[in-house]
Amino acid sequence: MAITVALLILAVPVLAQTPELTSAKNINKHIWTRGAFGSGIAISQSDPMNFELLKLGIAGVKLVTEDAESVVKTGVLYFGEDKYRLRDVVIGNATASATIYYNDTQVGTISLDSYLKGDREIWAGTLTLNGETYNAYIIQIPKVVRAVEKAKYIYQYCKDHPVICRGVMKAVGSEICDPEGDGTTCLDQIKAYCEDNPDEARCKALRIAYCKMHPEDADCRAEMTGVCQNDNTDNACRVLTAVYNKNIQKRPTVADKMPEWFHTIRAKIANAGPTTAAGV
């Protein structure tokens, strides 16, 4: 009897440990906010012939465990063949900065602003590494965002703003379902529908609605740029113009090469005066 009881009790800690260890390993992670992501070149400010190839990835990664979810910002930098880890990452609206580490030792910093050249996003700024300062240029590689990933944004948007979500759907057609009344069931339904029909008007409208609230995400800026090339009256173009305008004010000469729709909206905002411009 005593032995049986003892064995049962001894099993308790083993059983208790298992979920803890499992939950630590069951991590669902995916890129949530894309900052600078691409390849480019660094040119020394003191010697223009001292240059090096760059590869850069800066992102906010969403980590989901059984108990919690959070977004952690981090990054990877290749300077030639050397690989560095980025910490203290800040992803702003068309801006990105970080400190550079090699084996837990800080060896530099990077600070970039993004600009549009045609429909391409180009990052430009300063890289300081091992005491040398470079001008850095990165060509953003557009991610081919799959329908499943796009639908995740829509799910999040409708979860956070069920009433507006319903309104956006109704504005371009009928609602798929009522996210406020039907709750999670409807959210799953919208997600499944938009995975299967990513180009349907309601799904596109919901995605753009999400992106207008998240211009810090390069994928969202790319999505909105696509809209503005075809229709510069969409409110997304005002959001995008306001974002890039801040970088243009730092480097006015870059404005010449910005796309036509940008200049059109920029002029409209300027003509409308400070009140409307601030409300963009």
Does the protein bind other proteins through residue 40 (CB under 8 A)?
Answer: no
- CA dist 7 and 18 (Å) reads 17
Does the protein bind other proteins through residue 24 (CB under 8 A)?
Answer: yes
Contact 62, 98 (CB under 8 A): no
- CA dist 227 and 225 (Å) reads 5
Contact 179, 173 (CB under 8 A): no
What does residue 128 show for φ and ψ, rounded to 5 degrees?
A: -115, 120
Does the protein bind other proteins through residue 164 (CB under 8 A)?
Answer: no
Kindly state the tokens that stand for 19.
């979920």
CB contact set of 24 (below 8 Å; sequence gap of 6+):
65
Smallest gap from residue 267 Cβ to other proteins (A):
29
Does the protein bind other proteins through residue 49 (CB under 8 A)?
Answer: no
Question: Using CB under 8 A, which of 40, 108, 125, 142 touches other proteins?
Answer: 142
Question: Using CB under 8 A, which of 41, 43, 61, 277 touches other proteins?
Answer: 61
Residues 87 to 106: which contact other proteins by CB under 8 A? Answer: 87
Question: Using CB under 8 A, which of 36, 40, 73, 84 touches other proteins?
Answer: 73
Q: Is 26 helix (H, G, I), strand (E, B) or coil?
A: coil
Which stretches of the chain bind other proteins, using CB under 8 A?
1-2, 5-6, 9-10, 12-14, 16-17, 19-21, 23-24, 27, 29-31, 37-39, 55, 57-59, 61, 63, 65, 67-68, 70, 72-76, 85, 87, 120, 139, 141-142, 144
